[in-house]
Amino acid sequence: MRVQVGLLQRGFWPYTVDGRETIRLTEALRAFQFRERLPQSGIADETTVAKLSIGAGPPRSNFS
């Protein structure tokens, strides 16, 4: 659920935060990893979670 919140705050999660690990979460993680120039595994690994820095700093928009 924390990962989805992090993705939501960065404009990568256009859905309800439901905590479910679905193909959409994998796609969202891949899109975020692409943006951050990380390997696009679709997995919430340590580096990805650190980049999401849930709860820290101002949110960043990625679409405008």
Partner 1 sequence: MAIDPQNVDALVSLARCRVFAATVLWLSESDELLGQAKDAVGRALTIDPRNARALLVKSLVLAYCTEFGYRGQIQEAIDAAESAIALDHNLSGAYRWLGRLYSKAGRPERTAALVRQEMRLSPRDPDAAASLYNIGTAELQMRRYSAAISTFRKSVAENPSLAISWANLTAAYLAAGREPEARDTLSEVQKTRRAPGTGSAR
Distances, alpha carbon 57 to alpha carbons 24, 40, 42, 53, 60, in Å:
25, 24, 24, 8, 9
The CB density around residue 40, as the number of other CB atoms within 10 Å, is: 14
Which residue from 11, 38, 40, 42 is in contact with partner 1, where contact means CB under 8 A?
11
- Using CB under 8 A as the binding criterion, the count of chain residues that bind partner 1 stands at 27
Using alpha carbons, select from 16, 19, 15, 23 the residue that is nearest to residue 42. 23
Nearer residue to partner 1 within complex by CB, 15 or 47? 15
34 interacts with partner 1 by CB under 8 A:
no
Binding site for partner 1 (CB under 8 A): 1-2, 4-5, 8-12, 14-19, 24, 27-28, 31, 54-55, 58-59, 61-64
